[in-house]
Amino acid sequence: MAPLSSLVPQFPQVGARMLAPLPLGPLSLLLGRAARGMATRHPGLFTRLGAHSEKRFLIDPTDLPFSFLVRPQAARPRIEAVGALVSPTWDCRIAGPLAALIGMVHGAYDGDALFFSRDIVIEGDTEAALALRNALDDAEIDLFEEAAESLGAPGRTAGRQLRPLARAASQFTGVALTRAEDLL
């Protein structure tokens, strides 16, 4: 059997320890705002998700001290940051290093390949996981851009100015901080 190989960088442990005490309420507010913007800008996501848009997805970066509970539901999409000690109910859990999860959204990594290499783990409703993966891959979402958009006009201006920095950071860290096509 072939040895297991991984191309995915891990979030530094020191950084994760520094994030642990931060309050998650403000982060959830920002994420919720970004989710609503994403839903407006990428309506095709819900067509591909179909009935699965009503499911509860726990996106669990295993190298961070918190995870994200995603409820895509078109009427009011929500993303909530949940601490390590909280056990929310979910239909589907997708877990792996933050860089793997972001890299999948940005088209830098193939989800099946991350599954083969055991970099990501899927539990629960496999069909919902597949629908989410395919919907996100087709939407060609750029989380950097979505974050900037969620902050309005000042965010857009800052986003434009910081994008070259994000590209440089991507190349330095090996983490796809923007869409893979943007990094070519």
Question: Which chain residues interact with other proteins by CB under 8 A?
Answer: 1-5, 7, 47-50, 52, 104, 107-113, 115-118, 121-123, 126-135, 137-140, 180
Residue 79's alpha-carbon distances to 76, 108, 116, in angstroms, are: 10, 22, 27
Q: Which is nearer to other proteins, 48 or 56 (CB)?
A: 48
SS3 50: helix
Decide if 39 contacts 77 (C-beta within 8 A): yes
Whichever of 52 and 71 has its CB closer to other proteins, that residue is 52
Between 81 and 146, name the residue whose CB sits nearer to other proteins. 146
Q: What minimum distance in Å lies between the beta carbon of 109 and other proteins? A: 6
Minimal distance in Å, beta carbon 38 to other proteins? 16
Task: Output the smallest distance, CB 48 to other proteins, in A.
Answer: 4
Q: Residue 94 has which token pair? A: 């997708």
Count of alpha carbons within 13 angstroms of residue 32, beta-carbon side: 12
Give me the sign of the Cα torsion angle 8, 140, 41, 128.
Answer: negative
CB of 2 vs other proteins, minimal distance in Å: 4
